[in-house]
Structure formats: C-alpha cells, structure tokens
C-alpha cells in the first residue's frame, strides 16, 4: 500500500502515478489517497478530461460507486488556473488528456503541489497510452495496480477488447473489455472461441442429462 512520504523542513511538491489495466482499482486508489488528504484538512482539487463520460460529468467515480466531485476540463492547460491555496491535485483518466499534461503536472509539483495522477498505462492494443509513459518517467512515485485475469486468475496487466471496434478510445463498461494476463491477452480471440465452445458443450450436456432423467 502506498504511504505518503514525510518531509523535514520546507514542503515540496511531487508527482505520484497510479497505473494499470481496466478493472485494476486505479480510481479507487486515487479516491483513497484524496480522501485521506481531505481528512487531514488539505485543500484538494480533482480534474478529469471531458472525453470520459461513462458515469458523470462532475464526479470521479470508481466502478464501486465511490466518488469525489471533480472539474471537467478540455485542455490540460486549464488545470494550471487553479487557486494557489490548493495543496493536492488529483487527475483521473489521465490517458485521455493531451500530451501537455506531463508539463502541467511538473509545473504544479514545482509550485509545491502534490499531484496524484491515475490512468491506463496501455491501450487495448497493449501500446503506451497518451501522456502516461512520459508521466511515468517524470513521477517521483509509481504504483502499478493489477486486475485478475478473467481466464486464468493470474495478475492481469492488459485490457482485452471484446468488440471488434478499432478506435483507440472506446469508453465502456464491463461488457466491452476484460482484464487479461500477458499470456491470455496474447492468445486473443482463441480464448473467446474456446469459452464459447465450452458453454455450448455444457448446455448440450445439460439438455442430454435432463432428457435422460427417469420418468416419475
Ligand atoms: Zn490469464
């Protein structure tokens, strides 16, 4: 579990990145850290990109409905106009921001702000996503969280897209993606076909078993 660093003397800012695949608990971890800062009476501000419209325009919401109120911005530069009194900035769905986000986070950290960024490190093709790789390079602290592979139960690092849509951004719920480990991700739709065949076989066996029940 991530523990906040202690500083002796003058307080300085820094960047924390929480990354991982879909369903790995990134937003839950972001919310946990921000709520702890709020309990300590620190002034907290949360931002998310306008492209993420899954749940709500004003809330950072995790899959389990935990949420914090947030400001929706179109451009990462807008984040710099926050009040000087803000001590902690949270940024969710960072992969959807423009590439200028890395510089924005560095400017905030230099101002003395604690910046906590959460986002997908890879897109559905397994490629580094938006500003995430450069944010990971400049961050002081990195936490990679994992989901559980839907097929084998190992730790999942990849977001496998169940639909054939090839847009990089296809914001969606559980039925569009599933978390997979490296090996199951590489197997691609072979696993889908296997699972489909198994469920067809199971339902046929069920029917046979029902047919062979003794008549009463
Ligand atoms: Zn697996």
Q: Please provide the size of the chain in residues.
A: 216
At residue 34, φ and ψ (nearest 5 deg) are -70, -40
d(CA 102, CA 199): 46
At residue 89, φ and ψ (nearest 5 deg) are -115, 130
CA of 151 to the centre of ligand 1 (A): 5
Angle at 90 between CA 167 and CA 150, to 5 degrees: 50
pLDDT by residue (tens digit) across 72-86? 999 999 999 999 999
Tokens, residue 112? 């003395």
For the chain, the 3-state helix, strand and coil shares in percent, each to the nearest 5, are 30, 25, 45
CA of 181 to the centre of ligand 1 (A): 4
- Domain positions in the chain are 14-205
Residue of 70 and 21 predicted with greater confidence:
21
Domain over 14-205 is classified CATH 3.40.50.300: yes
Bridge pairing between strands 71-73 and 88-91: unpaired
Which residues make up the environment of ion ligand 1, defined by Cβ < 5 Å?
A: 149, 151-152, 154, 181, 184
d(CA 52, CA 105): 19
pLDDT by residue (tens digit) across 18-60? 999 999 999 999 999 999 999 999 999 999 998 755 555 566 6
CA of 148 to the centre of ligand 1 (A): 8
Instruction: Please state the rounded mean pLDDT for residues 103-131.
Output: 97
CA of 213 to the centre of ligand 1 (A): 37
Catalytically active residues, by annotation = 93
Q: 20: helix, coil or strand?
A: strand
For residue 182, the number of C-alpha atoms closer than 13 Å in the C-beta half-sphere is 0
Angle at 207 between CA 205 and CA 208, to 5 degrees: 65
Q: What percent of the chain has a predicted confidence (pLDDT) above 70? A: 82
Radius of gyration of the chain (CA): 21
């Amino acid at each position: 579990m991530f523990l906040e660093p202690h500083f002796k003397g003058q307080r300085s800012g820094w960047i924390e990145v929480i990354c991982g695949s879909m369903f790995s608990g990134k937003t839950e971890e972001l919310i946990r850290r921000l709520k702890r800062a709020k309990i300590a009476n620190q002034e907290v501000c949360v931002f998310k990109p306008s492209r993420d419209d899954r749940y709500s325009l004003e809330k950072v919401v995790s899959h389990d409905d935990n949420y914090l109120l947030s400001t929706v911005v179109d451009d990462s530069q807008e984040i710099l106009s926050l009040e000087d009194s803000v001590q902690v900035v949270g940024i969710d769905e960072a992969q959807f921001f423009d590439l200028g986000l890395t510089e924005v986070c560095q400017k905030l950290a230099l101002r003395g702000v604690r910046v906590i960024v959460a986002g997908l490190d890879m897109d559905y093709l397994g490629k580094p996503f938006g500003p995430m790789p450069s944010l990971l390079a400049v961050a002081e602290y990195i936490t990679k969280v994992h989901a559980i592979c839907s097929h084998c139960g190992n730790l999942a690092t990849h977001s496998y897209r169940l639909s054939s849509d090839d847009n990089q951004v296809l914001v969606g719920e559980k039925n569009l993606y599933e978390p997979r480990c490296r090996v199951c991700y590489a197997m691609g739709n072979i696993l889908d076909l296997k699972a489909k065949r198994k469920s067809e076989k199971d339902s046929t066996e069920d029917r046979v078993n029902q047919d062979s029940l003794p008549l009463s």
